[in-house]
Structure 1
Amino acid sequence: MNRHRTALSALLAAAALLTGALAAASPSAAADPPSSFRPGQTPGFWTAERMRQATPLDVTASPGGARTAPVPAAPPTRVPPTSPTAFPQAGGAWTGGGAVVKTSGRVFFTFQGRTASCSGDSITSQNGSTVITAGHCVKYQGAWHTNWIFVPGYDNGNAPYGQWAATKTLATDQWAASEDMNMDVGLAVVAPLNGRTLSQTVGAQGIQFNGGYNKKMYSFGFPAAAPYDGTKLVYCSANTGKDFLLTKDHSMSCNMTGGSSGGPWFQDFDESTGLGTQVSVNSFGYNFLPNTMFGPYFGPEAKAAYDKAQTS
């Protein structure tokens, strides 16, 4: 364990030196705090086929073990739709319609030289252009992702409301500094599209901080690892609990897989309108505890990151 910590300290020190060198060489880099990044964009990069082939990014954890980002080993199979009136629901295709179909979507980016995917949600903000997701969906293993876009209402390679390119990605200070699993919250500010902001185009969900534990919640995402295939919006619903091991996260019975990371968790969700108050995001699962999802508690740290994003 000490050897791992020593190696990690050395890597962090090297990263700090590199960051300092880049900041000294670039005035624009120096203007941004360490908890944010301006991802590069390659016009036309995200074709329908490239989105379909993007590898789902997910995080698993084990007590005393390292986090990993597994690649699905088996080909996906389709999961039949489930009535959205079932509660609790451990995982099924959302067929209820409503606002959540437009505000939620898939996130695509380049990670370690490969295309990858997560999920995200449009939230109410001052700039009308803020997406919330998981911290590891903007920065992971010490590097910020590039070619970052949000595709609300994603439908099997189609982008019915367009591809929204990030001009800035952010994370909680704690995730940006050390990838603290308690603070796995990321955000993106996206550029206007066709003269309109994101919220003007697809709407936006409400958000709440310091809302407490043990609530009835719904979670949504686009899981892309088997048995799912990333083509449709999937949801879970349950009376949530609290992680009893490594974090202070919410916990929920849910079988969503890789690619669902960053998808929204709602309190006070109305199935008839598809509107709710977002209080967390899909974050990680323990590799020894199947069919259970964990999501960070939105406390003052998440609020601080949100305030930075909505005023950018």
Structure 2
Amino acid sequence: MSTVNRRSMFAVVSLMALTGSLIPVAAQATPAAPADDKVVVHEFQGQQDAASYWTKARMQKAKDLTKTKSAKASGTTKQEKLPPAVIPGKSPKKAVANATSPLTRASAKAVREKPLPTIGKVFFTVNGEDYVCSANSVNSKNSSTVSTAAHCVNERGRYANRFIFVPAYENGEAPYGKWTAINAFAPSDWIRSEEMEVDTAFVIVGKRNGQTLADTVGATGVAFNQARGLKYKAFGYPAGKPYDGEKLWSCTGTAIPDKYAPEGQAQGIPCGMTGGSSGGPWFMGGKYTGTSSVQNSVNSYGQDLMPDYMFGPYWGSIIQQTYNKASNASGR
């Protein structure tokens, strides 16, 4: 098993940026209840004032959590071989603006995008510090499910608090409101040992004005156990230089394996997005067509030896089980 340097897409800025930006080791983890031996469910704490806490100024000043990660590509996560599965998306009750993004040629250089209704930013606090990641509204039985990276929910055994989702975020604006998280579902292999190959979490958000998230902005489809080497379009809100975290960007390309960590199951596409893009969705077919789009991974990490690529986990049986648990949860 080889050892590789992987950079979580919280931020991939520089080693110098580590100072003062990591979560203090003294932070206490909140106990989580097991959903089963493959999935862990966590109820967020301190959510009563979460939406009001996240003012425009706080959202614009929130940081991407800078860290570098030296990890073994263990490949210890055991995935069942299941048939391909696709859950289609769901349209909102009322039409929303700017619902599609055109096909883009493959390029490691990120492309500026207009705000898209299902894609947004998650904001959260850890030890009193304000942080951000990217996320997407995905269809589920509760119509209240958001996909993101697991390391945006739990990093080194510590859970985030004051967690909200802001779809179509741009320059501090929340055109569809702030959606307060209730709980999160993540693979137990991430919670126990931070296996990068399952770096995905699904977060359940509460209703706003009696409406679910999917009713309001729609929700894209999701797919599991698909072929490898597909063409993807990945989105995110990169915050590390030269980006500012205030606008949506995308990269498009055909996925290849992480050749320096072959024991894992991650795939990478050409992409120069930086920290803050963690958790942003990957869509099959190399395009975003609103709620007919199908998500099949998230932005997870950068590889020092492949600097022009961004990697995402393969959505196999474990992430499918995680999604199923989240989909069946209550979206009160």
Distance in 2 of aligned mates of 1:58 and 1:237: 24
Q: How does 1:68-83 map to 2 (within 5 A)?
A: none
Aligned to 2:314: 297
Which stretch of the first structure deviates more once superposed, 41-50 or 159-168? 41-50
Query: Are the structure 2 counterparts of residues 195 and 84 from structure 1 closer, same or farther at C-alpha, using a change threshold of 3 Å?
Result: same
Q: Note if contact 1:107-1:120 (Cα within 8 Å) is conserved in structure 2.
A: yes
Q: Note if contact 2:168-2:174 (Cα within 8 Å) is conserved in structure 1.
A: yes
Which one of the candidate residues 173, 180, 187 is aligned to 1:172?
187
Distance in 2 of aligned mates of 1:272 and 1:125: 18
Aligned to 2:154: 139
Q: Note if contact 2:34-2:40 (Cα within 8 Å) is conserved in structure 1.
A: no
Which one of the candidate residues 105, 110, 119 is aligned to 1:87?
105
CA shift for structure 1 position 32: 6.3
Aligned to 1:55: 63
Distance in 1 of aligned mates of 2:218 and 2:279: 18
CA shift for structure 1 position 57: 2.8
Distance in 2 of aligned mates of 1:309 and 1:122: 13
Q: TM-score, normalised by structure 1?
A: 0.79
CA shift for structure 1 position 268: 2.5
1:308 counterpart letter in structure 2: K
Aligned to 2:328: 311
Distance in 2 of aligned mates of 1:121 and 1:30: 25
CA shift for structure 1 position 199: 0.2
SS of corresponding position for 2:53: coil
Aligned to 2:53: 45
User: Which stretches in structure 1 are left out of the alignment for 5+ residues?
Assistant: 1-14, 24-28, 66-82
CA shift for structure 1 position 283: 0.1
CA shift for structure 1 position 275: 4.1
Aligned to 2:283: 266
> Percent identical across equivalent pairs?
40
Q: Note if contact 2:103-2:287 (Cα within 8 Å) is conserved in structure 1.
A: no
CA shift for structure 1 position 53: 0.7
Query: Are the structure 2 counterparts of residues 38 and 112 from structure 1 closer, same or farther at C-alpha, using a change threshold of 3 Å?
Result: same
Which one of the candidate residues 213, 216, 235 is aligned to 2:228?
213
CA shift for structure 1 position 230: 1.0
CA shift for structure 1 position 42: 4.5
1:35 counterpart letter in structure 2: V
Distance in 1 of aligned mates of 2:239 and 2:308: 15
Distance in 1 of aligned mates of 2:220 and 2:53: 28
Q: TM-score, normalised by structure 2?
A: 0.75
Aligned to 1:68: none
Q: How does 1:85-234 map to 2 (within 5 A)?
A: 85-90=103-108, 91-95=110-114, 101-234=116-249
Where relative contact order (Cα < 8 A, 6+ residues apart) is larger, the structure is 2
Q: Note if contact 1:58-1:257 (Cα within 8 Å) is conserved in structure 2.
A: no
Deviations 1:257-289 (A, max 9, x none): 000000000103545657421110000002343
State the number of aligned residues: 268
Distance in 2 of aligned mates of 1:154 and 1:284: 22
User: Which stretches in structure 2 are left out of the alignment for 5+ residues?
Assistant: 1-25, 74-100
Deviations 1:165-199 (A, max 9, x none): 11101211211221111110111000001110000
